[in-house]
Chain A
C-alpha cells in the first residue's frame, strides 16, 4: 500500500486521450520519477494529482483519502506540497515574509482573521521560519525582496516554503527546467539532502535524464498517456521499450 495511489485514471481532451488507464503506486519515503517524451501526459497527470483537473474515470487516493474535486488549498492541508516549473513565490515580499506565510498557513489553516495581532509577537513561527532559512543557506538574504533573487535562489526559497510545512508528499514539476548545469547540480544536491534528512516522499516530473537518474529510486515511463514500464533506474536505463518511446521504433 503506497501513500499515493492512482488507479484507472482516464482523461480525454476532445479527441485526444491525454491519460489512458494510468495506475501508479508511490511507496512512502521513496523518490518516484515520472518521465516520458513531450506530450506523454506528464503534466496532465500532475494536474490530476493536485486537483486542478478532474479525470473522466478513476481514483486518486492520498493516504486513504480521495483528492479528486478538492481545492488546491485543501490538498495542501492534506500534506501535499507542490514545486512549480517556474518558481511560484511572493515576489513583492521579502524572503523572510515569504517564509512566514507557509508557517502561518500550517498553523492556522485556510483562514484566520488576525488583523490586529502583531507579527513580532509570533516568536515560535519566526523562529521556525528563520531556522528553515538557515537550513537552505539563505539566512543572509532574509531582507531581500524575493523578485531580486537569482533563479536558483528562487527555487531554493520555494522549496524551503514547501518544506517548512512538513509535507508528507512533495510534487516537483520539472524542478530544473531552464537552469544552467551548475544550478541543476545544486538543485539535485539540495533535493537529495532533503530526502535523506526528512524522508519525504517525492514525485518528480522531469525529462532531463541526468536529474532523474541522480535522484529517483523508482521510475515510471509514460508514453502517449499510458505507463509503459515501472522499475528501478538501473533496469530502466537499458530497457528496450523506453528507447523505443524516446527514439522511435528503429532504435529498438
Chain B
C-alpha cells in the first residue's frame, strides 16, 4: 500500500494509531492521584512532541542517513517561525500560507548554506553550519530588526495590515476556521483527556512527513545517501557525484526543520531569535542520537524523551518531593530530598545529561537498540541467533 512493503505499511499503521491516541496514552494516571504530574497529555507538551519529532525526522535524513552532522539546524527552525508570523501580519491568522512560505524559505536558505558548507565534510562541515546558524542568530537579534523585531521577538500588532482578515475571522492561529488553541475535554471517571485541535493538526502533518521520510529511506535516493555515509571513494569511482545527493539531503532536512519552526509559530503566534541559538541545534543532535540515528522511529522517540524530561522533571520541586517522602522520618526525608534536589526543577539538564551518557555508553544504537534488545530477550531471538552463528562462522582473520 502507498508504495510501501507490507512490513512498512504495518509499521506506518501502528505509528498512525499511536499518534492519534497520544492524548489518551499519555494520561495514564487519574487527575487527582499523586502521580498525575507525570501525565504528559496536555496540548502544549503533545504539540512539542509532534513538532520536535518532525524536526528530528528531518535532521535524521541528513545525519543518520548521510552521515553529515549539522550543528546549525536551528537556523531553519527560526526561519520557519519568522515566515509564519509574517504571514499572520500581512494576510491573516490562517496558518497555511505561512507554513508553505516557511518550507520554501527554509529550503532556499538550506540551499545556500548547504552549497557552501558541503564543500567540506566531517568536523569542518559541522563548524561551518554552526557558524552559519550563529550568524543567523546574531543577525536576527540585531541587524535584521526590521524583519525580526530583534530582542522583543516578532509578533502580531493591531495595526498590522492583515489584508485577508474580516469581522468573522478568528483572532488566533487557525486552519480554515479550525482554531488551534481550542480543544475538547473529556472527563472519564477521574481521567481527563484533552483533544486539542493544535495537537491533531501537528500530528497529522507529522504522520505525513514521517511517511515521506519512510519513502526516502526505502528509495534509491536513500540507498545513495547511505552509500555516501559508508564510502565516498567507491561512490566516486562508481560514476556518482556525491555533492548533489548531499545537497538534496541537506535541503530536504532544512525544509523539515522549517516546517517544524513554522508549526511552533502556528501553535503560538510568536517568533524569537533564541529559537536559532546553538543550544537548539544541539538539542536536535541529542534527540537523534538518544533515539537512534539512522533508524526511522528513533529520532521521534528521542524528541519525545527529551521534551518529556524538559517539561515534567523541570516541574518537580522540593515541596513535591517532601510530600512524596513525608512518610519517612524527618532526617532521612531531608537527606533524600537533598540528594535528589540537583536532578529536578532547574537541574533537569543534569538528569538528561546522565541519561544521555548512559545511552551513548551502553546503547550506542539509542533507545531503539534498547527496545530491540528487550524484545529479543523476551522472544528469545538471541538464542536463535547464537545457534545461527555456528553455521555462519566469522571470516577467518587474514594475514597480510
- Show the binding face of A for B, using Cβ within 8 Å: 50, 71-73, 76-77, 81-82, 84, 88-93, 97, 100-102, 104-106, 109-111, 113-120, 122, 148-151, 153, 158, 161, 165, 177-180
Residue interface bits B209-253, CB-to-A below 8 A is 1, else 0:
000100110111111101101110111111111001100100010
A35 to nearest B CB, angstroms? 20
Q: A93-B230, A117-B220, A118-B218 are in contact. List 4 more A-B contacts (CB 8 A).
A: A111-B240, A111-B241, A115-B221, A165-B239
A93 to B230, CA, bound (A): 8
- Docked pose: A89 CA to B231 CA in angstroms: 7
**In the bound complex, how far is the Cα of B5 from the Cα of A182, in angstroms?**
42
CB-CB under 8 A from B4, the residues of chain A are 118
Encoded as 1 (CB less than 8 Å from any A CB) or 0, chain B from 239 to 274 comes to 111001100100010000000000000000000000
Return A139 CB to nearest CB of chain B, in Å. 16
Fill in one digit per residue for B382-400: 1 if any A CB lies within 8 Å of its CB, else 0.
0000000000001110111
Contacts of A72 in B (CB 8 A): 236-237
Task: Compute how far the CA of A93 lies from the CA of B234 in the bound complex, rounded to whole angstroms.
Answer: 13
B238 contacts A101, CB within 8 Å?
A: yes
Query: Within the complex, what minimum Cβ distance (angstroms) separates A175 from chain B?
Result: 14
Q: Does any Cβ of A come within 8 Å of B189's Cβ?
A: no
Structural contact, A115 and B244, CB atoms closer than 8 A:
no
The B interface, classified by DSSP as helix, strand, loop or mixed, is helix
Report Cα–Cα, A119/B226, bound state, in Å.
14
Contact B237 A104 (CB under 8 A): no
18 A-B residue pairs with Cβ-Cβ distance under 8 Å, sorted by A, are A71-B236, A73-B237, A77-B239, A88-B237, A93-B226, A93-B227, A101-B227, A101-B240, A104-B223, A105-B240, A109-B239, A113-B248, A116-B219, A117-B219, A118-B3, A122-B220, A153-B395, A165-B238
Are A110 and B239 in contact, CB atoms less than 8 angstroms apart? yes
Tell me the B residues contacting A by CB distance below 8 Å.
3-5, 212, 215-216, 218-224, 226-227, 229-231, 233-241, 244-245, 248, 252, 394-396, 398-400
Which B residues lie within 8 Å of A113 (CB)? 221, 244, 248
CB pair B245 A89 closer than 8 Å: no
Which partner residue on chain A sits nearest B5 by CB separation?
A120
Bound: A84/B239 CA distance, A: 15
Asked, given contacts A100-B223, A101-B223, whether A81 binds B230 with beta carbons under 8 Å apart, the answer is no
Cβ-defined contact, A151 with B238, below 8 A: no
Interchain CB contact (< 8 A) of B224 among A71, A89, A101:
A101
The answer to whether A119 and B238 touch (CB under 8 A), given A91-B231, A92-B230, is no
- Complex CA gap A81/B236 in Å reads 11
Q: Which residues of B contact A116 (CB under 8 A)?
A: 3, 212, 215-216, 219
Judging by beta carbons under 8 Å apart, are B219 and A151 in contact? no
Query: Given the interface contacts A111-B245, A150-B395, does A102 sit within 8 Å of B238 by beta carbon?
Result: yes
A91 to B237, CA, bound (A): 15
Beta-carbon contact of B223 and A91 below 8 Å:
no
B238 and A110: CB pair below 8 A? no
Q: Which residue of chain A lies nearest to B247 when distances are taken between CB atoms in the complex? A: A111
CB pair B398–A119 under 8 Å, yes or no, is no
Return the 7 tightest CB-CB contacts between A and B, nearest first: A178-B400, A76-B239, A150-B395, A111-B244, A110-B241, A115-B221, A72-B236
A119-B239 in contact (CB<8A): no
Residues from chain B with a CB closer than 8 A to the CB of A178 are 398-400
Q: Across the interface, which residues of A come within 8 angstroms of B396, CB to CB?
A: 150
With contact pairs A92-B230, A105-B240 given, residues A119 and B399 touching in the complex (Cβ less than 8 Å): no
User: A3–B145 Cα gap in the complex (Å)?
Assistant: 64
Distance in Å from the Cβ of B364 to the closest Cβ of chain A?
14
Q: Which residues of B lie under 8 Å from residue A101 when comparing CB positions?
A: 223-224, 227, 235, 238, 240
In whole angstroms, what is the CA distance A116 to B2 when docked?
Answer: 11
Which has the most chain B C-beta neighbours within 10 Å: A72, A153, A161?
Answer: A72
Evaluate contact between B395 and A92: CB separation under 8 angstroms. Answer: no
B231 pairs with A90, CB closer than 8 A: yes
Least distance between B170 CB and chain A CB atoms (Å): 35
Task: Find chain A residues with CB under 8 A from B395 CB.
Answer: 148-151, 153
Given contacts A76-B237, A90-B230, A180-B398, contact A115 B252 (CB under 8 A): yes
B333 to chain A, nearest CB (A): 52
Query: Complex Cα distance A102/B236, Å?
Result: 11
Point out which of A81, A118, A180 has the most chain B C-beta atoms below 10 A from its C-beta.
Answer: A118
Q: How far is the CB of A151 from chain B (nearest CB, A)?
A: 5
Closest B-chain residue to A50, C-beta based?
B237
Query: Which residue of B is nearest A178, CB measured?
Result: B400
Nearest B residue to A120 via CB reads B5
Scoring B233, B245, B395 by chain A CB atoms within 10 A of each residue's CB, the highest score goes to: B395
Asked, given contacts A90-B230, A92-B226, A116-B219, whether A106 binds B5 with beta carbons under 8 Å apart, the answer is no
Chain A residues with Cβ below 8 Å from B216 are 115-116
The minimal Cβ–Cβ distance linking B216 to chain A, given in whole angstroms, is 5
B293–chain A nearest beta-carbon distance, Å? 12
A220 → chain B, closest Cβ, in Å?
A: 23
CB-CB under 8 A from B218, the residues of chain A are 118-119
